[in-house]
Structure 1
Amino acid sequence: MGTDLKRELLRLLDEDEEFRYAVAGRIGILEILKRLDRLEEGQNRLWEEVRSLREGQEKLWEEVRSLREGQNKLWVEVKELKKAYQGLSKRVSAGFAELGSALGVTYEMHAAAYIQVLLEELGYPGAKVTRGWALKDGEVLEIDIFCEEPLVVGEVTTRLRDEMEMDREINKLMDRVEAVSSKYGKKPFLAILSVGVAPENLVERLREETAKHGIKLILGREIEEALSA
């Protein structure tokens, strides 16, 4: 075979794919070459997918970092809100305490004025209703409503919310009735429990319990109606 022919054949093998496959088929390696080509194509696609996965992973980590930063900012805001809420809660509690105290004094004064009018209507025009005190077992007990002649002992509360508070106020009043009875040697002419506000479902129960103990119950609405008349 001449040198020129060999060179031409080699050139064709390098440059002419169809010729190359024809020669490969003749010598039995065509199928192998085709499979190698397919493997190379598959490998290229695989590397493309790997690159895409890496890019996706990097984007995912970016999103995770952004979420963490957002979460950290959120926790900072939550802590600030908690601090603000705690401060507000303290101020509101203090405000309600001051308001409750102010309302208590006002209602107590109204209750005292109402009871003084009541005593005048009962035939005691000179009766003087004030605050008082008495001793029981060495303890000084303050009395919200007190009149020496006729002897009157009363307790005032701005609000009753349930039966537990009702029982506590009744027992508190009965302790003072007992202490005053011991001090003056006689039972009070009137034992009074004045309640500013109570739920409707508690009022009937309150009437029953005060009647059972010989206590005159005066509700806030009765005082309001009498003083505004």
Structure 2
Amino acid sequence: RVDFTKIVEEQKSLREDFNKLREDFNKMLLEISELKKGYGRLERRIESTFNAMISGLTDLSKYAGLTLEDFTRKILENYLKGMGVLPSDRSLRSETIDSEQIDIFCEDPAIVGEVTAYAESTKEAEKLLKKASVVRQKLGKEPKKYLLVMTTNKQVYKDIQKISEENEIELIVGRVV
């Protein structure tokens, strides 16, 4: 009878410990959920800030005497170096491969990109995919793909965004009208 009472007390103590652990676990789940939401907001703010910066700097390029492609290539190059994607001793350039004019190119690491002032359809994303295929065939490896669009409308943006997600394209849009 004494052993049974001890077992019941031990079981009761274990249940209390379990309930306390469950409460702590639920609090941690709530914190994780809040962190995920905060991260999502931060990611959207960073993307929005970067896109606004690209848009503003593109407008500025008109006064600097550079072409849109040259200016955008230089901004992307500095961004990729800052992110550690492009080594400091490498640069982005334009290149013609198999009669395909590639706006943004680097051989190692393999990078291909397309720049356009205005996208009125998904044509720019499709052009980028074709150019990426040419680069893949030449280098024998999958290039990182970048599509830089200065301005587009909401529907085209959604369509290009879908293609970008499906094909691992880094999409950078300055302004959606």
Interval of TM-score (by shorter of Structure 1 and Structure 2): 0.5 to 0.7
Partners of 1:119 and 1:127 in 2: CA distance:
10
Partners of 1:160 and 1:145 in 2: CA distance:
17
Q: RMSD over aligned Cα, in angstroms?
A: 1.9
Note if contact 1:119-1:125 (Cα within 8 Å) is conserved in structure 2.
no
Partners of 1:202 and 1:171 in 2: CA distance:
13
Alignment counterpart, residue 119 of structure 2, candidates 131, 154, 160: 160
Note if contact 1:159-1:195 (Cα within 8 Å) is conserved in structure 2.
yes
1:130 correspondence with 2:84: no
The aligned amino acid for 1:212 is E
Higher strand residue share:
2
Note if contact 1:107-1:196 (Cα within 8 Å) is conserved in structure 2.
no
Q: Counterpart of 1:220? A: 174
1:205 correspondence with 2:164: no
Structure with the larger RCO, 1 or 2 (CA within 8 Å, 6+ apart): 2
The aligned amino acid for 1:148 is E
5+ residue gaps in structure 1? 1-101, 222-229
Partners of 1:110 and 1:200 in 2: CA distance:
25
Partners of 1:208 and 1:173 in 2: CA distance:
14
Note the C-alpha offset of 1:220: 2.6
Note if contact 1:128-1:147 (Cα within 8 Å) is conserved in structure 2.
yes
Q: Counterpart of 2:137? A: 182
The aligned amino acid for 2:118 is R
Work out which of the two has the higher radius of gyration on C-alpha atoms and give 1 or 2.
1
Q: Counterpart of 2:147? A: 193
Partners of 1:208 and 1:131 in 2: CA distance:
26
Give TM-score scaled by structure 1 length: 0.44
Higher helix residue share:
1
Corresponding residue pairs, total: 110
